Chains A and B, each alone.
Chain A
Amino acid sequence: MAEHKHTTLVEQPEPLVSPKETYGSITDKIAGDVLSTKTPKAMMITLAITSALLLVFVLAVGAVLLFGPGVWGNNNPVGWAFEITNFVWWVGIGHAGTLISAILLLLHQHWRNAINRFAEAMTLFAVMCAGLFPALHTGRQWLDYWLLPYPNTMGMWVNFRSPLIWDVFAVTTYLTVSFMFWFVGLIPDLAAMRDRAKKHWQKVIYGILAMGWRGSAHHWHRYEMSYLLLAGLATPLVVSVHSVVSFDFAVSLIPGWHATIFPPYFVAGAIYSGFAMVITLMIPARRWYKLESFITDRHLDYMAKVMLATGLIVFYGYLTELFFAYYSGSMYERFMMYNRIFGPYWWSYWLLIFCNGVTPQVLWFKKVRTNVALLFVISLIVNVGMWLERFVIVVTSLHRDFLPSSWDMFRPTIWDWSLYLGTIGFFVWLIYVFVRVMPMISIFEIKHLLPWRGRKIDTSADAA
């Protein structure tokens, strides 16, 4: 096949930008949606619902700060439950952004240009939600800063052997780099917004944020260079953050946690859930803002393919866990697996297999991948599945470990649920507020795609 690679030019089934769009219309459409005073009705409803959830979130945070982690259902064997499940879930969701922005950029996957902005924003907000959980789950939250290595009169240094310290570094680094990436990518568009804004205050805000961008060749040159460097910097993070998060478990000795497969398995799971969340959020946004010209069915098709690939890796991880539980010869490992499958939390394991093992198999079919409604449903199932995966790992491993005398059940309380739903509210609220005030699609990067439109192009890069 290699000899044909450069000569095989195929007709694109569907262009990445609708043929109707011109340079002018793109800016008009994307910037206009932000500067318009009209907000789609469905969006208002979503904002109303998520604002209500935001209040629940505030209440749930207040409760845990005021009374302590005892408001949750955690107990003696199950020291971590919803809070760490949610933490890992959110961090995982936060993986799509960097992957799309950095790795796909370096791999010249141009289709990413339509979704990278949105995915990066999502990453940022997901990591914010994620970071809340470790911060809140400590018993004395006002002392969380002790997890930072800073010079102090106590002469105390953090314990660098603890994976929780690695977490602190991994997550804060990731948050910083994601923010930089997102913000640097926004600058040319912010300048466009500044130039198009009609009201004075809008001009001032966008003006400040645009940091004096004038679109000169020098600017563009430096921009391209820094963006590329940031992409290079962010690329290892895609792999490292979730690897480090997985160390929280892998470094311990609890059967079900202590597994060498965890880093790759967690990273694949993260990308899987990240893409699922991008699809979940993008499908309604695309509909409400009529962005089908930019986020085409082909985009959805590609994202579904990434989901399928990572989903298969995750499923392979489950099979590996099964095999090694048996192959270890350890009665504790074997029991852990048996307990996951047939123990009191059996439903969570089987539901997980259904969500993450069975459901993505339908994505082998192109008809499914391009069916927007179906894809939306599948993405929701995958989100649920990935949450269950973390729940299964965190709770079912802890609730029955070495000494049967300590075995107990975890029963979530209303505060467990309200903090979880609250962060979802917080997250979706942030996303849609972002969509309302910033260009959700990178205007200038979409314009990059215009020269290719309708032409026969080399697909080898896409196939990579």
Chain B
Amino acid sequence: MIEKNVDIQTVRRTLAGKGGKEYWRSLNELAETEEFKEYLRQEFPREAGTWGEEFSRRDFLKVMGASLSLAGLTACVKQPDEKIVPYVKAPEYMVPGKPLQYATAFVMGGYAHGVLVTSHLGRPTHIQGNADHPASLGATDVFATASLLHLYDPDRSQAVVHNGVMSSWEKFVQSAKPLIEAQRALKGAGLRILTQNITSPTLHWQLQSLLAAFPDARWHQYEPFNADNVRDGMRMLFGEDVMPRYRFDRADVVLSLDADVFGLGPGNVRYARDFATKRRVSGKDASMNRLYAAESTPTITGGMADHRFRMKASDVEVFARALAARLGVPGVAAEHLPVDETVIVALAKDLQSHRGAGVLVVGAHQPPVVHALAHAMNVLLGNAGTTVEYTDPVEQQPVHHLRSLQALADDMARGAVDVLLILGGNPVYDAPADLRFGELLAKVRFSVHLSLYDDETSERCTWHIPESHYLETWSDARAFDGTATIMQPLILPLYATKSAHELLDELFGEARSSEVIVKSFWKTRSAASDFESWWRRSLHDGVVPATHLSPKSVAMKNVSWTFTPVVSGGMEILFRPDPSIFDGRFANNGWLQELPKHVTRITWDNVALLSPATMENLNVRNGDMVTVTYNGATVKLPAWALPGQPDNVVTLHVGYGRTRAGRVGTGIGANAYTLRTSATLWRGEGATIEKTGEWYRVASTQEHWSMEGRPIVREATLDEYRVNPDFAKHMAHRPTEKESFYPPFVYDGYAWGMTIDLNACTGCNACMIACQSENNIPVVGKKQVERGREMHWIRVDRYYVGNDLDNPEMAVMPVACHHCENAPCEPVCPVAATTHDHEGLNVMTYNRCVGTRYCSNNCPYKVRRYNYLQYSDTETKSLQLMHNPDVTVRNRGVMEKCTYCVQRISAARIEAKKEDRLIRDGEIVTACEAACPVQAITFGDINDKNSRVAKLKAEPRSYDLLAEVNTKPRTSYLAKLRNPNPELAAVQPLSRSEHHG
């Protein structure tokens, strides 16, 4: 770099303006000349390689090297003083090697999900559900568990950025304060605050006091996937701002109107749990609930359905109308029917015969009128108050998100916004395309973006402030049922980051820390006489007592129904959040990118989902690149056939095509937000799809979807089960003990085993991510997944059942190491690296493994995973902190697989030995078992006849996968049952005969 045109005066000024200790590398840098900025840009481009490339570790290290040199630049902020003296009096609970758990909450879309975070000597290493929290009951979804990776993500924003140049918090405050003061004089007329959906009582309190001081300022909220339609529907029907909350544990008949209640959205984990309690079948005269799904794009909820009706998203309204007319909702008449009339008749009959024990749920993307219709039916059927409860909104200040953002955009376009604080979110990327939010930001004189990543919005704002991860700071949030959680940090901020509370308090208050702010708010709210013990209790439990929202009694208005006109505008287009990376906020999370998406089992990409028939019409194959043009914009992405997808409907998952997500998420997939406008936020008509002639390799983890007539997922109808409860055992020949020359090995201590209830499993992937986090499983990148080298120890297989390619039934099956008693992997290992222990575990000795892969070849379940290359990143400092110290980090050339979380078995064994007792049933909970929202996975000692696992193995539905190979697996399955309505047998014949071959 040539030192030229350096104005010494500028340098002096700049240096004087900086606070704290300064490190600089050249005078150009201090002068912040254009040359230096250009040099910086060239030297450290944002998009320098991604993890998706082959041998990316090398690229990765290069970038890490660059980051290290940049560390000198970022040291503009004086880090807080650190004490490095050892404990004089060690806290009694701090024992090296013994992890601690703390309760806090993961927040997505504003809704809290209570979690317990495992901390090893101050490092959070694993996130699992908080059993005391109503949204969790001990389980998690993929996002909550995977949020751990964001904490340690080396791409997380680490410095304040001013117009693309590193700056400091002090400089930001210096430049912001005068502008805020100027606004104070104007009553805040030019001040706007944009947040995501806010349920945090403390943040709301802060914002309220702010708005009191600046009465003309405005607070806007926007989530790209919001509950606007639900709220509008409720207003339409009840005339007041209430929100529905479902009680699936009380419902015997469930109708889902395009709702993915178990997959995504507030309360999904709890809803799945409640639903599953009605699906636990035991004994001869067992009963179970029945799920109907009227669905457009297949979801895991539709996959669970006993009857799934495939229809366009726009036809769901017509379907709901027909049903409402049949059920006698006043003022509703049926028009044409998207399904056979017998369906409506049978459905109405089933719902009517389960008054107060049926429920209709609607997807948030369906228009308000469908919500109103469904809840009118719920009220008429007596479900209101039993299976569905109406409560005040959880949000402190519920708004119509789209209108809120539009109002802000209008103000910005008028030039009325002088100061804009964007607290979280990424509106430049995810706001409706027609608002042109990114361009409008240029009209704002002073825009601030507080976020975890230096993303698309940060780039367009004058200031970017790095946000503290939720595990680094204090906050609070409310769950889907209103229960509040005070979120406590597990670790000091890794970088000089700020929380939204701190940012607001710095600019408008007293510059207090998050802890002080949150605590002082709750001091005003807590009615307890002894606040300190109340506070500690709330923190410990992870829930604040008495914050649950009680059901309200509501009255139906006399609705004059106006329905969406039915137009046949050609190809319907649907915008849906991605099942793995949601709205794009998880784009830089390698765990989630590599997680096979619900139903499609695709990783690392978004695709244009089309029905097989539509694919034929368009003459495209899987992976053919197509352009989807809509609203004047075009995206190019691969076409993908999805059985169950309605014809002439293209579904695009958003969240891809990020330009500034980080090394993992930038530049992969196509940005479907560019097609999404305010008018067509959820769906639209008249999209055009054209074949480009290119072909693209999509990394799918499952290429074959048929069971080939093999008895893999064994299922029967409830009626068949009642007649023949052990049907699953007769679907394959099972060798008897007598067929061996040798007596069986006697396990006289513990004998570990597992059962997986296929009747409960929804295929939500929670087990996969929990396992990845617990067992230090590396991310391999798209190229390696394409090659079939993903490393997940537990996978969720998805099969289609039936002869109807267009609308097959779906069956999911989690598969991990079966810990066979006759393990085929063991005799073939030349170096005895995989052996059997006396408790029946098939154990891997990583140190001994030379990597011949023979064991994997000989495994009939193909659950062994091989480190074909050096997949584990052992060199990135921040990722080192994340590793579970109880599990070996595997290197290249080593075979690995599910261990039944042997580290947890050991921990329980140590505890039991200390107390001189046996390990209790339920004391060992494997990571997958803990995460499972529906409690499909049970682990325990099968020698203990009273253990849960032994009892489940004694169930007639229990069967061993591939028992005919005589592996004697320790993991067994409980066969799947479906509960079809006999009256619909003519419309949807059940094709299960395939399994009885």
Contact = CB atoms under 8 A, between A and B. Distances in A.
A404 interface: yes
B827 interface: yes
Interface stretch (B1-9, B92-100, B703-711): B703-711
Interface string A14-26: 0000000000000
A15 to B, nearest CB: 51
A156 B847 CA distance: 12
A454 interface: no
Interface in A105-144: 134, 137-141, 143-144
A156 B832 contact: yes
Contacts of B858: 252-254
A70 B962 contact: no
Interface stretch (B265-273, B614-622, B783-791): B783-791
Q: Helix, strand, loop or mixed for chain B's interface?
A: loop
Given A75-B789, A79-B857, A147-B850, A139 B703 contact: no
A337 to B, nearest CB: 14
Interface stretch (A160-168, A199-207, A298-306): A160-168
A251 B828 contact: yes
B860 A401 contact: yes
A405 B815 contact: yes
B498 to A, nearest CB: 42
B832 A75 contact: no
B861 A159 contact: no
Nearest to A405: B797
Interface residues of A, number: 53
Contacts of A157: 832
Contacts of A163: 828
B871 to A, nearest CB: 9
Contact of A68 (B710, B787, B797, B867): B867
A317 interface: no
Given A79-B854, A158-B830, A404 B710 contact: yes
A406 B815 CA distance: 11
B965 interface: yes
B832 A252 contact: no
B892 A76 contact: no
Contact of A162 (B829, B861, B961): B829
Contact of A147 (B830, B849, B869, B962): B830
Contacts, number: 169
Interface string A394-407: 00001011111111
B861 A158 contact: no
B903 interface: no
Interface in B343-371: none
A79 B866 contact: yes
Nearest to A73: B787
B812 to A, nearest CB: 10
Contact of B866 (A139, A146, A403, A406): A139
A77 interface: yes
Contacts of A406: 861-862
Contacts of B895: 139
A131 to B, nearest CB: 14
B857 A80 contact: yes
A365 interface: no
B314 to A, nearest CB: 34
Contacts of A180: none
Interface in B699-721: 702-710, 712
Given A77-B788, A77-B862, A159-B829, A164 B854 contact: yes
Contacts of B150: none
Contacts of B712: 403-404
B850 A252 contact: no
A40 B709 CA distance: 63
A50 interface: no
A208 interface: no
Nearest to A162: B830
Interface in B907-928: none
A137 to B, nearest CB: 7
A338 to B, nearest CB: 10
A384 interface: no
A67 interface: yes
Interface in B870-896: 870, 892-895
Contacts of B813: 405
A335 B708 contact: yes
A36 B611 CA distance: 75
B315 to A, nearest CB: 32
Nearest to B857: A79
A188 interface: no
Interface in B702-742: 702-710, 712
B861 A403 contact: yes
A69 interface: yes
B831 A403 contact: no
A76 B784 CA distance: 11
A164 B830 contact: yes
B850 A331 contact: no
Contact of B965 (A143, A402, A405, A411): A402
Contacts of A332: 710
Given A79-B866, A253-B965, A139 B894 contact: yes
B828 A162 contact: yes
B629 to A, nearest CB: 33
Best-buried of B815, B831, B962 by chain A (most CB within 10 Å): B831
B868 A74 contact: yes
A168 B893 contact: no
B865 interface: yes
A291 interface: no
Contacts of A462: none
Interface in A399-445: 400-409, 411
A225 B877 CA distance: 69
A162 B868 contact: no
Contacts of A138: 850-852, 893
A86 B713 CA distance: 37
Interface in A45-74: 67-71, 73-74
Contacts of A404: 704-708, 710, 712, 799
Interface in A324-340: 331-332, 335
Contacts of B848: 146, 156
A140 B703 contact: no
A162 B827 contact: yes
A403 B815 contact: yes
Interface string B765-804: 0000000000000000000100111100001011100000
Contact of B795 (A79, A134, A141, A405): A405
A76 B856 contact: yes
A387 B831 CA distance: 28
Contact of B869 (A67, A79, A254, A400): A67
Nearest to A157: B832
Best-buried of B868, B894, B965 by chain A (most CB within 10 Å): B868
A404 B856 CA distance: 16
A272 B857 CA distance: 28
Nearest to B701: A405
Contacts of A141: 893
Given A146-B848, A147-B831, A253 B815 contact: no
A401 B704 CA distance: 12
Given A140-B892, A162-B827, A253-B965, 10 more contacts: A71-B869, A139-B850, A139-B894, A140-B893, A144-B850, A147-B830, A159-B830, A402-B861, A405-B815, A407-B703
11 contacts: A67-B869, A68-B870, A69-B853, A69-B893, A139-B849, A146-B848, A162-B830, A253-B824, A398-B857, A403-B712, A411-B787
Interface of B: 55, 702-710, 712, 784, 787-790, 795, 797-799, 813, 815, 824, 827-832, 848-854, 856-858, 860-862, 864-870, 892-895, 961-962, 965, 997
Interface of A: 67-71, 73-80, 134, 137-141, 143-144, 146-147, 156-159, 161-165, 168, 248, 251-254, 331-332, 335, 398, 400-409, 411
- 6 closest Cβ contacts across the A-B interface? A139-B893, A139-B851, A70-B868, A75-B788, A79-B853, A70-B869
